[in-house]
Structure 1
Amino acid sequence: METLKSGGSRLSILYVEDEPVVREMVKFVLTRKYPEMEIHVAGDGRTGLELFREHKPDLILTDARMPVMDGFQMARAMLEENPSARIIMITACSDPDYVQEMVKTGINRHVTKPIIHKELFEAIDDCLAPITGGDKG
């Protein structure tokens, strides 16, 4: 996948996950799959929101359930500040009501845990396609 925006600047992802082992594993996988992309990480929603404001990432990957501020609260705040923010929620819950809440919140895609890398990469590529000029890989 092309890792530059159509204007030529570097793409960036913000990944928010409270579980350190999962956070490090996914960060490692992301840096291997997208070596030219900036990857910012946070361990809770409040820190994620601060990094969102500081770095203005092209895509946000977030866990749903976290301490301090959960993924839904963080996503709502991000979308209030930037309605075109692209957000992928990663969650172990696939309950239809939970999925409906993601849709109502404005989440673009969701990926279930345990994370299947191929599904995560497809969701990322799909969300970034409008920025990269439609190149999905």
Structure 2
Amino acid sequence: MGKILIVDDDKAFSRLLKSYIKQYYPILRVQVCSDPVRALSFIRKGNLDLLLVDYEMPVLDGEKVANYAREVGVDKSRIIILSSREADFLHEQFPLGTCLAVMNKYETAQKAVLDMIFSSLQRKAAANAG
């Protein structure tokens, strides 16, 4: 419980997010994959509590990664799409109900939403561990 996979070709952003999660939500386990094609094998193994996917990546974009995740059984409520694009654009690409959330990864207000999600995951992981 508490397993998060971050799929983002922006290695600096991924490292920063992983470090943040480890510091403030130490029960959660975080895996980072900068290659979306390689990430498919991690997704296929399942057992993910949260999948954070960058929308714009080379070779395989975030929409394709999210679609694959849903096809292999990852619940849509466990998928978050991150992007530098505006929210209106993202909502057009991912209508309500196709994933848990779409977020601009550089807007500080979005951090509060991620914190609520991470906090909820940590509470669930702690309850299952104890």
Same fold, judged at TM 0.5 (above): yes
Which aligned pairs between 1:1-137 and structure 2 lie closer than 5 A?
10-82=1-73, 84-85=75-76, 86-94=78-86, 96-103=88-95, 106-116=98-108, 117-125=111-119, 128=121, 132=124
Contact 2:53 2:82 in 1 (8 A): yes
TM-score when scaled to structure 2?
Answer: 0.79
Deviation at 1:37, TM superposition (A): 1.3
TM-score when scaled to structure 1?
Answer: 0.76
Distance 1:106 1:132 in 2: 23
Q: May I ask how many residue pairs the two structures share in their alignment?
A: 123
- The residue type paired with residue 116 of structure 2 is E
Distance 2:57 2:13 in 1: 13
Distance 1:22 1:29 in 2: 11
Q: CA RMSD in A?
A: 2.6
Between the aligned residues of both structures, percent identity stands at: 23
> Counterpart of 2:53 in 1: which secondary structure?
strand
Deviation at 1:103, TM superposition (A): 2.1
- The residue type paired with residue 33 of structure 2 is A
Contact 2:9 2:35 in 1 (8 A): yes
**Structure 1: runs of 5 or more not aligned:** 1-9
More helix by share: 2
Distance 1:102 1:124 in 2: 21
> Counterpart of 1:29 in 2: which secondary structure?
helix
